[in-house]
Structure 1
Amino acid sequence: MKIQKVEAAKKQMFIVHLSDGQKFRAHEESVVRYRLISGRELDEDELDEIMEGISYDEAYIKALKYISYKLRSKYEVEQYLLDGDFMEQVAAHTVDRLMQEGYIDDKRYAEALKNTMLNTTLKGPGLLQRELKKHRLNQFLIDEAVRDFDDSIDADRMNKIKDKELKKYKGAYRQFQMKLKEKMMVKGYMNHHFELIDFNDDFDDTSFFEKDFEKYYNKYRTRESGWKLKSKLIQSLLRKGYNYQLIEEKIGGIEDEIFEHDD
């Protein structure tokens, strides 16, 4: 079997034509390494060896391009190659090579992701842990990165989150605290982070209370009266987080006949 011709293609690729009608693509690096030149004679064993080598070269080049855009985990690169129809041993060999050459480093990946989340987002260490587990990092590396993240969280960060959420909030301040805690848990924070927050805000929820009182009063008065109306009002406003004393004062300020009898 003879190489009939080697034809240049795009992006440093070449198409190698064989005398038996076969053809295959090879990167410039493979063409040079395996001396793929017109007129060269090849036997079956040589061709098999060259094709295997080309597969490794192709996987390596594709992986290099993939990690050139941003840091990738070992698992991420391996999955990328497997999804690209490379055989398992080719993907594993390529990842090992890239690790030896320093292009893949899960410790550096964990550190970089931690710094990105810490400095450019309001996410917490729980989300970092979740992300690193998704990338199948060694548990020791995960624990180390999460611990470093946790140690970097201070009152300034937590109060920044609180202030941001409070600007958007409309309702009882006590309920705001509960909702904030729920949201922080979703963002990956824990109870000891919540304790760093200063809740001594000058937040007046009176206008929100008045609106909610009117809303529930209008909702229930068409079908309830007297004690039942009063009870439903109190329950609904308590669920919204308003202070019981504030509710009682409001109801006490309304004319007695509104609540004086049941239907």
Structure 2
Amino acid sequence: MPIITKISVQQKKNDRYNIFLDEKYAFSVDEDVLIKHQLKKGMEVDEFSLSEIAYQDDIRKAYNTSIQYLSRRMRSEKEVRQYLKEKEVDEIIVQEVVHKLYEYRFLDDKEFAIAYVRTLMNTTDKGSGLIRGELREKGISEQLINAALRELPYEKEFEAAMKLSYKFVQKNKTDSSRIMKQKLEQMLMRKGYSHELIQAVVAESEIDKAEDVEMDALRKHAEKTHRKYSNLINSYEYEQKMKQALYRKGFSIDLIEKIIHEYKDI
């Protein structure tokens, strides 16, 4: 059987050791593996022992890689598995590493989900639907997602949606009430807010404008449309094209007819 004739510390990694068998370099091992197998000079090692040492060292290397990955931020089990797979770590090694990470509490999907919800709640304007989808992508179970989303109460989510609504309304003042409402609903839906919450926000957002304010918004759109069809101003076609264009912008027929009469009276 081969005999260990030399053990030396690696220059760049002082937690790894080079093992020499019969005066020739054979392999390297992590310090923990060295201690676990009590490797020392003069020790005989058979093929089974060498295979077991290599297996344990592969686990240790993958484990250390995972710890470095987790040191940047919390990760879900699925993320760690995907990362190790990208590093071409065998599935049997991945399984051992994941078990070890749970054992030492470096992995905990429940704590990860709660921390994820809290972080997004305090740093983004995402609704619970979007957060739920992101947690699913990270491999979190529905049970853990539901538990984690209790960290985002309805009042907090409603407040975030109202802030978005206020900014949106200020930015889109020239839109008609109907179009503004549609756009606001679509925006909040993309952000992951529920239908019920969106309807509550829209109701509180004072989108329905007074007639004079709506008329001012209409005039801004009508001016551009009128210039486009001004050569038809005294024809039936002019009225139809103006009505069609402005109705698509969300304005009522009554207001559109008023603005058309204003232009025809000029």
Same fold (TM over 0.5): yes
* Deviation larger for 201-210 or 191-200: 201-210
Q: Contact 1:125–1:189 at 8 Å: present in 2 too?
A: yes
Determine if the alignment matches structure 1 residue 196 to structure 2 residue 200.
Answer: yes
Distance in 1 between residues matched to 2:79 and 2:98, nearest whole Å: 10
Determine if the alignment matches structure 1 residue 214 to structure 2 residue 216.
Answer: no
Q: Aligned runs of 1:1-263 on 2, under 5 Å?
A: 1-3=2-4, 4-19=6-21, 21-146=24-149, 149=152, 151-153=154-156, 155-174=158-177, 175-197=179-201, 198-200=204-206, 204=213, 206-222=215-231, 226-255=235-264
Distance in 1 between residues matched to 2:133 and 2:238, nearest whole Å: 48
Higher helix share: 2
TM-score (norm. length: structure 1): 0.85
Helix, strand or coil: the match of 2:105? Answer: coil
Distance in 2 between residues matched to 1:25 and 1:207, nearest whole Å: 78
In structure 2, the CA distance between the partners of 1:214 and 1:17, relative to structure 1 (3 Å rule), is same
Identity across matched positions, percent = 29
Amino acid in structure 2 at the alignment position of 1:9: Q
- Shift in Å, 1:97: 1.8
Distance in 1 between residues matched to 2:60 and 2:152, nearest whole Å: 38
Amino acid in structure 1 at the alignment position of 2:218: F
The size of the alignment, in residue pairs, is 257
Q: Contact 1:74–1:106 at 8 Å: present in 2 too?
A: yes
* Deviation larger for 121-130 or 219-228: 219-228
* Deviation larger for 160-169 or 219-228: 219-228
Q: CA RMSD in A?
A: 2.6
- Shift in Å, 1:51: 0.7
Distance in 2 between residues matched to 1:162 and 1:189, nearest whole Å: 12
- Shift in Å, 1:139: 2.0
- Shift in Å, 1:241: 1.8
Distance in 1 between residues matched to 2:80 and 2:53, nearest whole Å: 24
Helix, strand or coil: the match of 1:195? Answer: helix
Distance in 2 between residues matched to 1:47 and 1:2, nearest whole Å: 11
- Shift in Å, 1:148: 5.0
Q: Contact 2:128–2:152 at 8 Å: present in 1 too?
A: yes
* 5+ residue gaps, structure 1: 259-263
Helix, strand or coil: the match of 1:253? Answer: helix
TM-score (norm. length: structure 2): 0.84
* Deviation larger for 231-240 or 219-228: 219-228
